[in-house]
Structures are given as structure tokens and as C-alpha cells.
Amino acid sequence: MNLRGKLTLVAIVGILISPLNGQTGDWRSELASLFLRQADWSEMISFLEPQFASLDSLDKPTAALVLAFAFEKNKDRTNAYTWLARFFEEHQGEGAFFDFLPRGAQNEIWAYWRQWQARYPRVSDLSFLIPAQTSPSLSPPERFVLAIQMTNAAFFKLISEGETIKAGELQRGLNTLSLESSSLIRQSGLHAFLLDLKVDDLIIRREITIDVNLSSELVLSSPAASEVSRSYRVSLLLGEKLLAQSQSTIRLTPPVQLTLPPADGRYSPYGPVHPSGRDPNTIGVSILNLPLVLAQLIKDYKAKKDEKERVPAPETKKEIQVVYLNQTQKGLEKMTADLRLEFKGYQAMVFSASSP
């Protein structure tokens, strides 16, 4: 093949490949060129939004924030908040880089990012606060406490079955929110709540579900009781003439009777054997060693007083188990409630006077 033929072949290949390069080229370069020639925001959105799904996972935080910024500039706050929520909820508000954009565009987007970093109402964690219960309680718990970690302060509204059951303000950091237990542990099932978080005119709605599984075990049965009934008769008389008569029998529920083992009247805090293995009645301190013992006690007291007490972080879990006793006609039952919490989904909305 002569030189002219080779050049012709190269030209044909270049023509065939050029459209493909346009489709799979570097989106950063094309986006930067749109910023350089100050294209309309709608043009930038039309370029970037359709190809978002095909972007690499490392590029999606940047693209999501650029789209939020572009929609905001295009005066479309609904879509701006949708992409802003995607950036903060799916990418934790991190991983965006704009060094490929013109300096002016970088500064504007960085300012937009910093503004929402200090305000976006993101829940970094939501779990049950572990109750301080080591043995079965004599009654069901009055409430369950949720521990909510907030990155920024926000007003909140907790909704159940369309009704607002809690409202107020959550501060940055750890917050607690209590739920009445009566509706949760009445029976096994899934309970759903909506948590609305509001900052300015931005509302982020999250879904909370609590899956409850109840089981019971009869630990002390009631003795069988004879059935008690009462009969009543009503007669309508005119003089000595019986006009009408009615009779009714009512079965009365006998009171629950439990037979508990009698107490032996003895107080034995250590049981039959002291932890040291010695007779608890002969344990003591020699009077000769008393000064040394007192000196050691004073030393330990001062050391403990000087030591700065650290408040341990509260223990939280997504799944908890609560055990309590419940009195029924059958007798005394041990109830076990297993609760599993899930925090999922998000929806961004623009607040208005007609917002639900």
C-alpha cells in the first residue's frame, strides 16, 4: 500500500472513531468546557444528569454536588435538594473534587458545599439506647429510648400512622427520643415511623421501622378455680298478675391466685459460703493491723478522688431484647420482646405552608 492509501485509511479510521470518543470521552473535560464558555445551567444539567448512572462510583459524589449546584443556579430548588440529599445521604457529604473546573467555578461550588456541610440535617446513626436491665423486670418497660446522632442541628417531627407523635429540635451530636412501649409490644409485627428533619426550607424525610417479635413462657401457673356464676330474675307484676319475667345468668371471672413458696426468714447475703471461703461470722481485721488498714483506705480514697472520672459513652444497638413478667389468667408468664430497628430511605422536600 502506497503512502496515499495509508493516509486515506488513517483518515477513515479517525472518522469512524471520533463519534465513539465523543460518547466515551472524559466527562470532566466536557463539563469544564461548558463552564469555560459559560453555558446555560440547563445545558450543563442536560449533559451531566443523563450519564450520572454510568459514572464510576468515585466520580458520583462530584457529579451529584455539581448537579445540586446547577439546579440551584437554575432556580429549581426541588431537584437541587434531591441531588443535595443524594450527595449527603449516599456519599456522606464527602469525596467531591473540582480541581478540573475553572477557578471561579471551583470557588462557587466549594462555598455551596461548605454552606450545606454546616447545615444539612444528616443522621449519622440511629439505634436503641440499651436499657440497664440485667434480669427480668416485674412489668413491661414504659418506653424505649432511641439514640440519634446528628451532624447538625435540625427541627424534627416524628410521625406514626399520619399523626405527629413527637416534635421539637435535635441538637448536633447525641440526642435521645423516647417511644411509648404500649403500642410497640402489644403484639408481634412491624411498626413504621417517619422522621422529618427541617433546616430552613429543606425537609429530609427518613423512614424508621421497628420489627417486634414477642414470645412467652409460663413460669408459674394459677391453680384451677371453680366457676362462679350469679343468676338474676326480673318479674313484672300488675297486682298479683305476672305480666313478664326474664332470667339471666352471669359467669364471674375468679381472681387469679398464685401460690408462692414461703420465705424461710433467714438473711444470707453471701449464701452458705463467703466469697473468700471463710466463715462470714469470723471475718474481721486484727486490731494490730488496723492503722495499716486505715492508712490504705485513706490512700485509696484520695487516689480515687483525684482521678478524673470519665463518663462512658452510652451503649447502643440496632437489636435489643427485653424480658419482663406478665400476669395473666393462666398465671405468671415470662415475656421476651425482640426488637430490631432499621433506618432506611430518604426523601428531600421543599417546605411550604401546605407541607404535611
Q: Could you identify the residue written with the cell 444539567?
A: 45
The string of pLDDT tens digits covering residues 240-253 is 777 777 888 777 76
Higher-scoring residue by pLDDT: 15, 210: 210
The answer to whether residues 147 and 128 touch, using CB atoms and an 8 Å cutoff, is: yes
The string of pLDDT tens digits covering residues 78-92 is 999 999 999 999 999
Q: Of the ranges 22-31, 64-73, 265-274, which is most confident?
A: 64-73
| CA–CA gap between residue 67 and residue 73 (Å, rounded) | 10
Is pLDDT of 24 > 50? no
First to last CA, the chain: 75
| CA–CA gap between residue 158 and residue 206 (Å, rounded) | 10
The answer to whether residues 93 and 346 touch, using CB atoms and an 8 Å cutoff, is: no
Q: What is the pLDDT of residue 31?
A: 95
Higher-scoring residue by pLDDT: 262, 190: 190
Q: What is the pLDDT of residue 229?
A: 73
Number of Cα atoms under 13 Å in the Cβ half of residue 108: 12
| CA–CA gap between residue 252 and residue 69 (Å, rounded) | 72
| CA–CA gap between residue 111 and residue 106 (Å, rounded) | 9
Given this structure, which CATH class describes domain 3-117?
mainly alpha
Nearest C-alpha neighbor of 348 from the set 210, 199, 208:
199
| Cell digits of residue 297 | 483506705
DSSP string, 52-112: GGGS-TTTHHHHHHHHHHHHHHTT-HHHHHHHHHHHHHHHTT-----TTS-HHHHHHHHHH
Which H helix or E strand runs over 43? helix 41-48
Binned at pLDDT 50, 70 and 90, residue 138 comes out as: confident
> Count of residues for the chain?
356
Other beta carbons within 10 angstroms of residue 100's beta carbon come to 15
Q: Of the ranges 22-36, 122-136, 144-158, 225-239, which is most confident?
A: 144-158
| Cell digits of residue 265 | 426468714
The string of pLDDT tens digits covering residues 104-117 is 999 999 999 999 99
The answer to whether residues 138 and 324 touch, using CB atoms and an 8 Å cutoff, is: yes
Q: What is the pLDDT of residue 25?
A: 47
DSSP-based three-state secondary structure for 64: helix
In the chain, list all ranges with CATH 1.25.40: 3-117
Give Cα separations from 123 to 34, 174, 219 (angstroms).
35, 10, 42
Mean pLDDT taken over the chain:
81
Higher-scoring residue by pLDDT: 201, 270: 201
Q: What is the pLDDT of residue 255?
A: 63
Nearest C-alpha neighbor of 72 from the set 44, 37, 104:
44
The answer to whether residues 145 and 210 touch, using CB atoms and an 8 Å cutoff, is: no
129: which strand partners?
316
For the chain, how big is the Rg over CA atoms in Å?
A: 36
Give Cα separations from 225 to 18, 44, 91 (angstroms).
93, 81, 65
Q: What is the pLDDT of residue 333?
A: 83
pTM summary value: 0.68
| CA–CA gap between residue 279 and residue 178 (Å, rounded) | 48
| CA–CA gap between residue 38 and residue 261 (Å, rounded) | 88
The answer to whether residues 216 and 356 touch, using CB atoms and an 8 Å cutoff, is: no
Q: What is the pLDDT of residue 225?
A: 57
DSSP-based three-state secondary structure for 214: strand
Higher-scoring residue by pLDDT: 286, 41: 41
